[in-house]
Copies of this chain bind each other. A is one copy, B any other.
Amino acid sequence: MSTGSCYDGVVMAHQPIGLVLTRTSRTVSRAFDERLAAAGGSLPLWLILLALKTQTVRSQSDLADAVGIRGATLSHHLGGMEAAGLVTRRRDPASRRTSLVEMTDAGTRLFLRLREASVAHDKRLRAGLSDEEVAYLATLLDTLAFNATNAST
């Protein structure tokens, strides 16, 4: 499918890169969601557990920032995760306003399953691509993310 024809007067030899990214991401995310769901999780759960495991998170605000969602949205997810026994929340004795989120054993087990799904997903994605190509792709994507939030126009 070519959309070039609709962009009258605009030099657009190929598909707009934003559209390609949107479509790719939609397809890839859907496949990833299915894998995460099969492993008993979801994308927000995976991102939250990953942030808890790999970052030194000082507060829920930090955690929300790390995941890229609002504090209220994080509360929503953490509520479900706490009810499911995946994390515990307790008030920081040093400052009872902030709460300390910790992974339970069950949370760790889910994390490991989701990590496995994530690794498998990634291995699959890399098929036919060299490490150099994947690394280059990552830098190009970083540039897009930067441009989306910082570039002028």
Query: Which A positions have Cβ atoms within 8 angstroms of B?
Result: 1-3, 5-7, 10, 12-32, 43, 50, 53-55, 66, 68, 115, 118-129, 131, 133-138, 140-145, 147-149, 151-153
Contact = CB atoms under 8 A, between A and B. Distances in A.
Contacts of A21: 24-25, 28, 125, 141
B147 A24 contact: no
A27 B149 contact: yes
Nearest to A119: B10
Contacts of A124: 147-148, 151-153
Please state the number of chain copies in the assembly.
2
Given A13-B131, A18-B118, A28-B145, 4 more contacts: A16-B121, A20-B141, A25-B29, A129-B140
A113 B121 CA distance: 37
A18 B151 CA distance: 24
A144 B20 CA distance: 11
